[in-house]
Amino acid sequence: MIAHHPGDDLLLSYAAGSLGESWSLAIAAHLALCPVCRDAVAAAEHIGGVLLDETPAETMTAGSLEDLLTRLDEAPVETFEPVAPETAVLPEPLRGYIGGDLDNIPWKSSGGGTYQHLLSTNDLAQARLLLIPEGRPVPEHGHGGRELTLVLSGSFHDQTGSFGRGDMEDADEDLIHTPIAGRGEDCICLAVTDAPLKFTGFVPRIVQRFIKI
């Protein structure tokens, strides 16, 4: 059962279409694993529907319906064909960004036994996948802004609680935390930050110069 969810403000902006790509990626991946937030986003989309209904009608350019009617025959009603694989660990839309599932992630060492893979998104935020070996800590860090962490496999815990698959930690800039991966399984998560992570120790700061984190 998922215990940790993103803030309502993120769900609202996601529904409105005003949330940037990296954040939307994390929210969409959480939605795949969390029926509760899927409901909330559906609810938020109703707001869009109601506002659409309430918007005063504009006049369409003359003949636009007729034009469209002639185009309908070239655009037949789609028939539905599912193309998804039979099983998957990583939810969509994440697999699309990686070009595959867990086994296809091109991990790069990020020091301290941890690995990361930067995802290419077109907004200013940074989305990355992190791999923390079981029982190991992520170097202690604060962040310059908001940070979302979605657990995809394994678990971690920090001062604020324990996080398993599907759980999302929604942390603001004030939280300095030391997540530690749970025992028994490596922890793989998706992290989104709107500023580079700032490690608080001296040695990690040197490491930080060499790896893009």
Partner 1 sequence: MAVALTLNCAPMDGRYPNPASGAILPRAARPGAAPEKANSERNSKDMTEVNQFNALLGKIAETQDKRAFADLFEHFAPRIKSLMLRLGTDPHTADELAQETMLSVWRKSHLFDPAKAAASTWIFAIARNLRIDRFRREKRPELDPNDPALIPAAEPMADDQLEANDQAARVRECLETLPKEQRIAVQLSFVEGLSHQEIADRLDLPLGTVKSRLRLSFSKLRPMLRTES
The one segment of 38-46, 135-143, 173-181, 184-192 that binds partner 1 by CB under 8 A: 38-46
Task: Determine how many CB atoms are found less than 10 A away from the CB of residue 212.
Answer: 12
The answer to whether 90 contacts partner 1 (rule: CB under 8 A) is yes
Q: Which of 3, 4, 6, 55 binds partner 1 (CB under 8 A)?
A: 55
CB of 16 to partner 1, least distance (A): 5
Which residue type does 107 have?
W
The answer to whether 151 contacts Zn ion (rule: CB under 5 A) is no
Q: Which of 37, 41, 105, 191 binds Zn ion (CB under 5 A)?
A: 37
Q: Which of 4, 6, 11, 192 binds partner 1 (CB under 8 A)?
A: 11
CB of 34 to partner 1, least distance (A): 7
Provide the edge-to-edge strand list for the sheet that holds 187-193.
Answer: 108-109, 115-119, 126-132, 187-193, 147-153, 168-171
Q: Which of 3, 4, 5, 92 binds partner 1 (CB under 8 A)?
A: 92
* Cβ proximity of 147 and 138 under 8 Å: no
Q: Spell out a b/e string for 2-36, using b for 16 or more CB atoms within 10 Å of the CB, else e.
A: bebbbeeebbbbbbeeebbbbbbbbbbbbbbbbee
